[in-house]
Amino acid sequence: MSNVHPFPAPPEPEDDGEYIDRRVPEDQAAEMAVLRACMYDRNNVPRAAQLLRGADFYRPAHELIWNVLQEQHRSDGPTDPIAVNREIIALGQGHRVNGGYLFTITDTAAFGEVEYYAGIVAEQAAARRADNLAVRIKTAIARGARPDDLNTLIAEHVAAEETRTAAAAGGGPTHLLASTLDWDALFGTNYQNVQLLPGQLLAHGQQIAMVAEGKAGKSLLAEEWAWRMGTGRPFLGDRAQPPIRVTYVDAENGHPEIQQRFRSFGASPDDMGLLTYLSFPPVRPLDTPGGGQDLMAIATATQAQVVFIDTVSRFISGAENDADTWLNLYRHTLMPLKAAGIASIRLDHMGKDGERGARGSSAKTQDVDHVWELRAQGGGILSLKRTHSRTGVGPDEFTVIRHSRKAGTDWVFGATRHDLMTWEDRAALIEGTTEWLVDQLDRAGVDPTWGSPKVINWCREKGIRVRKDKAEEAVRVRKSRPSGDIPPHLPYSPVTETPPDTGGGNDKTAGQTSPGEVGGRFGGPHSAPPSPRLPPIEGGGGSAPGEDIPICTLCGDPLQLDWAARGYTTHVICQPTHDTP
């Protein structure tokens, strides 16, 4: 009888023993089906755990197996019958479950989803608890209990069931003491050696807010970041790291935009790694208890290590200007995520006064480890600056360049990415430099095998004034690139709207500067970064015999010979800035 739970019965039989003889609510076949699914696939353990506790299993042997499976999953251990049997023996409980019975469980003919069988087990457990309440009530009546005593029994049962439901995601009342610090572990951990996630914008388990002006491309940046983390690719100049599980929750972007963007990154159905993307999920508002439970259930089911929320204002029910909205968001959603060691990135809109950061209550910045502000500078240049930090770990500011290229109406597959801005990128913004000429030739689709005579003729036809040595250097740069290499194109300038020479029309939306983005005003004008200082030409200045006096490529006036000999083709006052509309 050690294999069954004791079940209380009324002190006296009723209806000729009918009550005592009836079957106790349980379904051993469903219990075996749950355990079988978990032993075959360890990912079924957290899915079943959303519905079950150990005490829900009627057979004590099944409860023991379930507890071992949960511990194996928590410690990243295997959940197959051999491993489970070894753990049971190590616990000194081998006499309760022999190895042969585990293989009997795995032979159970059950091929449905684990949630289906877990639901049956949970229903039978609830029925047993209700039946136990009926026994207690009948026993109390037989002993002369008063109506108030019976109501107390019922209220206690209802309260216990409500506590059980509310604590489903937290693991029951015992989870309250799980937060007690282990002093040895605390002081024995080197917290100075912080491992930053790819991109160096946050560490494991931290929470950040990314705030940006409308149409600055925060979703585009976040989606590429999520994809690169999920596939183990480098991001923003950071080294590649092993793939991590990322869950992206999106209530902002439509399916066509999502497809267009990921294709432009170079993604395909077989190359999404550990990224799970939920589009317009039916979660309750995240500033409510139900919403927090929904997101925690999603994170648990996907085993997320990082969660993106795009955009946070779409997932709340309270007013953005109300501090209680953001306090409730932290209490119900962000705090449980952080307690579980799950990092989160929430995207947010900039307020009308951009100098004051995100729109809404200032309480927004009080519950995150870092606040990053993304600002478009024009010409595909982005400024990413940390305005608030709880730890100060990692860089405080990045200058990012958004590369993208369009062929006709489509964004080129694999040509969109965000990189840290390099010296070459800055030089490509300065008209008259070799890098600028290379970029102009790439944009126009000029054959990279052309020699300098053809390039010079092409420049003359396009009205581009260029020196012979610059053309020759540009030709050398383009010919030295590996075959098939996609040049790092800048997006189209919102000012010039210069399309590539693809042989067809260009039906892109006016002002569209990146995949999935519609053009808009970025605010006031911004200047391009300072021009890099080009190296001087050896041997000093001066014109070669028979060579024309160098002139400024912008204003047409002569340049000082020494200035030209150092490689400059424009006057300092003529160097352009890239203003946004």
CATH code (residue 395): 3.40.50.300
Q: What is the pLDDT of residue 487?
A: 41
The answer for 341, left when phi > 0, alpha when psi is -120 to 50, beta otherwise, is left
Residues 126 and 222 in one domain: no
Please, how many CA atoms are within 13 Å of residue 515, restricted to the half-sphere of its CB?
33
Residue 69 inside a domain? The answer is: yes
* Residue 156 shares a structural domain with residue 219: no
β-strand partners of 207: 344
CB atoms within 10 A of CB 569: 25
> How far separated are the first and last CA of the chain, in Å rounded?
82
H/E run at residue 544: none
CATH number at residue 121: 1.10.860.10
Q: Which of 531, 542, 544 is nearest to 566 (CA)?
A: 542
Return per-residue pLDDT of the chain as tens, 581 residues. 445 555 454 445 444 445 445 678 889 899 999 999 999 999 999 989 888 888 899 988 999 999 999 888 888 889 999 999 998 988 888 888 877 888 888 887 777 889 899 999 999 999 988 988 988 899 999 989 898 888 888 988 888 887 777 655 444 444 455 567 778 777 776 666 667 888 888 888 899 999 998 778 899 999 999 999 999 999 988 888 899 999 999 999 999 999 999 999 999 999 999 999 999 999 999 999 989 999 999 999 999 999 999 999 999 999 888 889 999 999 999 999 988 889 999 999 876 544 544 555 566 677 888 899 998 876 678 888 998 888 777 778 888 888 888 877 788 899 899 988 765 555 556 677 787 788 788 878 889 899 999 999 998 898 888 888 889 988 998 888 765 444 443 333 333 333 333 333 334 443 445 565 544 333 333 333 333 333 333 333 333 333 456 776 666 666 666 566 656 666 555 544 333 33
User: Do both 269 and 132 map to the same domain?
Assistant: no
218 inside domain: yes
Number of folded domains that form the chain:
3
Could you give the residue ranges of the DSSP H alpha helices within 24-74?
Answer: 28-40, 44-49, 60-74
Do the bridges between strand 343-349 and strand 306-310 make them parallel or antiparallel, or are there none, so unpaired?
A: parallel
The structure tokens listed for 317 are 């029910």
- Cα distance between residue 76 and residue 45, in whole Å: 12
Residue 298 lies in a domain: yes
The residue count of the chain comes to 581
Same domain, 149 and 214: no
**Residue 427: its pLDDT value, please?**
54
495 in Cβ contact with 579 (< 8 Å): yes
> What pTM was computed for the model?
0.49
Among candidate residues 381, 396, 411, the one where a domain is terminated: 411
| Domain C-terminal end among 379, 411, 443 | 411
Q: CA-CA distances (angstroms) from residue 188 to 191, 338, 411? A: 9, 21, 51
User: Of 411, 440, 473, which residue sits at a domain end?
Assistant: 411
How many Cβ atoms are within 10 Å of 256's Cβ, its own excluded?
A: 9
- Residue 513 domain-assigned (yes or no): no
Q: How far apart are CA 172 and CA 29, in angstroms?
A: 26
Instruction: Give me 165's structure tokens.
Output: 């439901």
Q: How far apart are CA 427 and CA 441, in angstroms?
A: 15
128 lies in a domain?
yes
- Is 216 found in the same domain as 162? no
Q: Provide the 8-state DSSP code for 162.
A: H
**In this structure, are 140 and 260 located in the same domain?**
no
Residues 258 and 153 both lie in one domain: no
Q: Which domain holds residue 553?
A: 533-581
Cβ neighbours of residue 26 closer than 8 Å, sequence gap 6 or more: 58, 124, 128
Distance CA 11, CA 219 (A): 67
Q: Are residues 158 and 250 in the same domain?
A: no
DSSP 231-292: HT---TTPPP-----EEEEESS--HHHHHHHHHHHT--GGG-TTEEEEES--PPPTTSHHHH
| 245, 335: one domain | yes
Residue 10 lies in a domain: no
| Residue 557 lies inside a defined structural domain of this protein | yes
CA–CA gap between residue 90 and residue 350 (Å, rounded): 57
Compute the distance between CA of residue 488 and CA of residue 7 in angstroms, rounded to an integer. Answer: 73
Same domain, 74 and 160: yes
Does 366 share its domain with 319?
Answer: yes
CB contact set of 528 (below 8 Å; sequence gap of 6+): 377, 378, 379, 381, 426, 429, 430, 576, 577, 578
In-domain check, residue 502: no
Whether 253 and 399 map to the same domain: the answer is yes
Instruction: Give the DSSP per-residue string, 489-543.
Output: PPPPPTTT------SS---PPTT--STT------SS--PPPPPPPPPPPTT---P
